[in-house]
Amino acid sequence: ARLCWRWAMATIALQIVDGFLLLMALPREVLRAFMRGGAPTMVPLALGILLGVGLLMMLARPIDPIAKRKLITGTLASLVLTIAVMAITRDQVRALYLEPSTESFHPTVVPQWGNFVLFVVLLIAALGTVAYMTKRALAERATGDDAA
C-alpha cells in the first residue's frame, strides 16, 4: 500500500510540473486570451492548481494508508474533484485554440425528444427492476446453503 501511495505522489508531482510546462508552452495569443478571460477561466485554473498542490501535500504525509481509511477517502475525493476542475480548464484552452477556425461556424441545436423519452422509459424500467429485486431479496431471506 505504501508503494502505491508513493507512486500516486510521484505521478501527481509530475503532472503538476507537466501542467505548468504545458501552460507556458501555449502560443502567446492563446495564453493571453486565457489569462484575460477573467473569472470564468482563472477560477478553474487557480482552483485546479490549489487542488493539485493540496493533493500532493495529502499524499506526501508519511502515514500507513491502510490504517487511515478516511484519509484515503478524502484523497480520492480530492483527486476526482481535481480531475473535474482540470477538465474544465482543458476544455477552455481547447475552445481558445479552435476559436479562429470555428468562429464562422454556428451549429444548429435540435432537441432529440425521442432519445430522451427512450432514456426515461429505460431508466424507470431499470429502477423498477432494482426495486423489485431489492424488495424480494429482503422479503425472502435465504437460509442454509443458499445464504450468502
Confidence of residue 58 (pLDDT cuts 50, 70, 90): confident
Burial (CB count within 10 angstroms: exposed 0-12, middle 13-18, buried 19+), residue 45: buried
pLDDT at 146: 67
pLDDT at 70: 84
Instruction: Give this prediction's pTM.
Output: 0.64
Name the residue among 88, 96, 97 with its Cα closest to residue 44: 88
Confidence of residue 60 (pLDDT cuts 50, 70, 90): confident
Mean pLDDT score of the chain? 89
Per-residue pLDDT tens over the stretch 24-43? 999 999 999 989 989 999 99
pLDDT at 49: 93
Is pLDDT at 148 greater than 70 in this prediction? no
Is pLDDT at 44 greater than 80 in this prediction? yes
All cell numbers assigned to 31: 495564453
Q: Domain-by-domain residue ranges, the chain?
A: 2-102, 113-140
Greater pLDDT, 73 or 115: 115
Q: How far is CA 21 from CA 5, 15, 50, in A?
A: 25, 10, 16
pLDDT at 45: 92
Amino acid at 112: Q
Per-residue pLDDT tens over the stretch 71-91? 888 888 999 999 999 999 999
